Amino acid sequence: MNTILRSHPKVSIIILNWNGYLDTLECLSSLQKMDYFNYEVILVDNNSRGGEAEALKSEFGDYIKVIKNDQNYGFSVGANQAIDYAMRNLKPDYLLLLNNDTIVAQDFLNKIVGAMEADPMIGLAGAKILYYEFPTYIQSVGCRMNFVRGLTILIDNKQIEHKQLIQVQDVDYVDTCLMVRAKLVETIGVLDESFYLYWEDVDYAMRVKHAGYRVVSVADAKIWHKKGTPFKSIYKLFIEGSKLYQSPIATYYQSRNRFKFIRKWGSRWQYFCFLFFYFSFYMWLSITFYALFYKDKRILVEWFHGTRDGLKNEVL
């Protein structure tokens, strides 16, 4: 066992749960099937209803370490709680932030750790993400950032899975699954909690790059993600005739943090171009989309609030 542990750097896997018991249950079950041996799982429960934290602890026992919060502190604070716990108590070589609505391939952790071990200048790595409902279609193999338009671009989105010519490729950022070196966390710190929800992963990738490290996606490390499936949304709209749903709070932070990120990392010229694009085109497209396809009027209200606070640079 000591030989196995030496050949497998220690990984602390961090998963956040908020009223997502079934998703988290399936995610943890897939982790248990991995062919990697030297890891521990930290589950942060952001005050879920119905005793979900207790139910998950009862189901998985000592396999998971549970941090139970008394309120929903958002993704960045919850993730930072687990990072701080891992760094102080577990002494990992790597930390992995993994969305709870994912399942992983059996060799997933071996592949992503192997890529980072092969190049000490890789500071942050992500996986090939496939759609859960359409498992042969790619959601992303890393992401690009368009500062002028303030838009994120999923690489190879909606393509049928194929053998990637470049197994490890440099990208602007990775989402859903983020593996970072523990030593790098000691240097650049944890997630920026002022983002609260959304864009904190893009911000963190920029910080990794500015520290002189690579941000990459690893094509052989595969996971399947349940959310963000365009085929399902199209089916609901045009076949079922039903409306789409999104959390109003999510809409607020997506809107507000877009301004916050571009202002922080873009040049003055890029921020000017972003404002022009946003108010001449993107705003009207968003208003039309939210008004036509979402059943909750609060979505549109929170989008306006997020835009207002983003412009004013307000942080709640």
Residues 89, 194 within the same domain: yes
Say if 235 falls within a structural domain: no
Residues 154, 295 within the same domain: no
- Round the CA-based radius of gyration of the chain to a whole number and report it: 20
Domain boundary among the residues 182, 207, 230 is at 230
Residues 195, 273 within the same domain: no
Residue 316 carries which DSSP code? -
Say if 104 falls within a structural domain: yes
pLDDT score, position 293:
76
pLDDT score, position 99:
97
Residues 212, 189 within the same domain: yes
User: DSSP characters for 33-89?
Assistant: T-S--SEEEEEEE-S-GGGHHHHHHHHHGGGEEEEE-SS--HHHHHHHHHHHHHHHH
**Exposed e or buried b per residue across 76-85, where buried means at least 16 C-beta atoms within 10 angstroms of its C-beta:** bbbbbbbbeb
Residues 43, 70 within the same domain: yes
Residues 77, 173 within the same domain: yes
Residues 15, 109 within the same domain: yes
Residue 169's closest CA among 142, 202, 144, 150?
142
User: DSSP characters for 298-309?
Assistant: HHHHHHHHHHHH
Number of domains in the chain: 2
| pLDDT means over runs of 10, the chain (316 residues) | 61 97 97 96 96 96 97 94 98 98 98 97 98 94 96 94 86 97 97 94 98 97 83 45 69 95 96 96 88 80 94 73
pLDDT score, position 236:
45
For residue 83, the domain's CATH number is: 3.90.550.60
CA distance 56 to 31: 14
Q: Is 21 helix (H, G, I), strand (E, B) or coil?
A: helix
CB count within 10 Å of CB 262 equals: 24
Say if 237 falls within a structural domain: no
Cα dihedral 258, 83, 22, 28 sign: positive
The pTM for the full model equals 0.91
Say if 46 falls within a structural domain: yes
pLDDT score, position 228:
61
Residues 118, 197 within the same domain: yes
Residues 187, 298 within the same domain: no
Domain boundary among the residues 199, 230, 261 is at 230
What is the extent of the structural domain holding 248? 243-312
Tokens of 78: 């919850």
pLDDT score, position 3:
41
Say if 164 falls within a structural domain: yes
Residues 125, 181 within the same domain: yes
pLDDT score, position 30:
98
In contact, 253 and 196? CB cutoff 8 Å: yes
